[in-house]
Amino acid sequence: MSSNIIASIQPAKERLVNLLLEINSVELKSPEPDATIEQQEILYTMRNRTLEDKLRRIQLCIKTLQSLSDDWLKYTRTITSMKKKEEEKAFEVITVGETGIYQILQQGNEAIITLIMDKEDVEQ
């Protein structure tokens, strides 16, 4: 059971990592000084859509990872203590370190804050 949960975590984790890399490479360009109002509106609309898209995708990945983590915790409450130690060791591999899911979730939550702030700036 836990191997299924761990296997399910990996794709969502990889997707979140890729989204975080995408966000770091997104350039929010300012309109050209001689751009018309219509051109500026188009630029801001596109920027807003990009930010909203990234925001929703990150939220989806975070929700998926949190749900899978909760499933794993529920599962460990139903097994014997001997089996639980084995399962905890297996789960520790994906949770510890810079690439662990808890670190990635934290980075995702920080990215959400940044995206919301950027989106609010665009909407002003």
Chain center to CA of 108: 4
Rounded to whole angstroms, the Cα distance separating 68 from 91 reads 11
Give me the pLDDT at residue 18, please. 94
Angle of helix 2-25 relative to helix 37-76, nearest 10 degrees, comes to: 160
Q: Are 12 and 61 in contact (CB under 8 A)?
A: yes
The structure tokens 């751009």 sit at 35
The structure tokens 């930010």 sit at 51
Structure tokens that stand for 87 in this block: 């399962």
Give me the pLDDT at residue 123, please. 77
Q: How confident is the model at residue 83 (pLDDT cuts 50, 70, 90)?
A: confident
